Amino acid sequence: QVQLVESGGGSVPAGESLRLSCVASGYIVNTRCMAWFRQAPQKEREGVASISSLGTEFYADSVKGRFTISKDSAKNTLYLQLNSLKPDDTANYYCAAGPSHSCRAPWSSRLNYAFWGQGTQVTVSS
């Protein structure tokens, strides 16, 4: 059973940065499609970014140029660097893992990911 544990969320003013981490059990960061999703109150969970087993990155249009997804296979850890944060980025951020084809399937569909973390809250004030 894959376990994913997120950390790094917090409350920051607009324009600031945060780095989210997701530690995975087992050697999956380099063998699966890994992704970050977010869910704001009363909104659907949406894909933020994903990274394939080969390192190809995908981003939602709303975060392109501001967020960067990366991974450290030696630490079994997925990261999301959040820069130039906006109040609209306020949400609970979730780490997800799926089979390698999830990154093509399309990557932003939550249905393609079987394993999820518990989430970490990001709050951006104006």
Asked whether the predicted pLDDT for residue 118 surpasses 80, the reply is: yes
Q: What are 76-91's pLDDT values in tens digits?
A: 999 999 999 999 999 9
pLDDT of amino acid 101? 86
pLDDT of amino acid 27? 80
Asked whether the predicted pLDDT for residue 105 surpasses 80, the reply is: no
Q: What are 3-51's pLDDT values in tens digits?
A: 999 999 999 999 999 999 999 998 888 899 999 999 999 999 999 999 9
Q: Where are the beta strands (DSSP E) in 1-126?
A: 4-7, 10-13, 18-24, 33-39, 46-51, 57-59, 67-72, 77-82, 91-98, 115-116, 120-125
pLDDT of amino acid 104? 84
Distance (Å, rounded) from C-alpha 99 to C-alpha 39?
22
Distance (Å, rounded) from C-alpha 30 to C-alpha 123?
30
What the block records as the tokens of 3 is 């376990």
pLDDT of amino acid 74? 92
- Range 97-126 average pLDDT: 93
What the block records as the tokens of 32 is 């699966």
